[in-house]
Amino acid sequence: MAQPQNHTISLFRFGGPDELHVADAPLPRAGPGEVRVRVLASSINYTETLIRRHLYPQTAALRVPFVMGYDVIGDI
């Protein structure tokens, strides 16, 4: 059986859509009181487009690289 892949849409620098890149990341491990979700589909929402352009008020607290696509559907 093939090893599961973990691909992300990552923002390495604030700016336009050309700053979004597909990146590989290690598979996360669930800690105590957490679950791991196998993501079947994801989207980048409007708030994340503001984050990408560094226009969202809480963006100042974010550090890059930043993984986009927090709206997901999947299996626990």
Residue type, 60: A
Question: Are 7 and 20 spatial neighbours (Cβ–Cβ below 8 Å)?
Answer: no
Beta bridge partners of 8: 23
The residue among 17 and 63 whose pLDDT is bigger is 17
Residues 3-57 have pLDDT tens digits of 678 889 999 999 999 999 999 988 888 999 999 998 999 998 898 899 899 888 8
Pick from 51, 45, 49, 47: which is nearest to 63 by CA? 51
Strands, E, within 1-76: which ranges? 7-11, 20-24, 38-43, 66-68, 71-75
Q: In this structure, what token pair is assigned to residue 64?
A: 């890059």
Residue type, 29: R
Residue with tokens 């957490």: 34
Q: What pLDDT band is residue 2 in, cutting at 50, 70 and 90? A: low
pLDDT of 70 over the 60 cut = yes
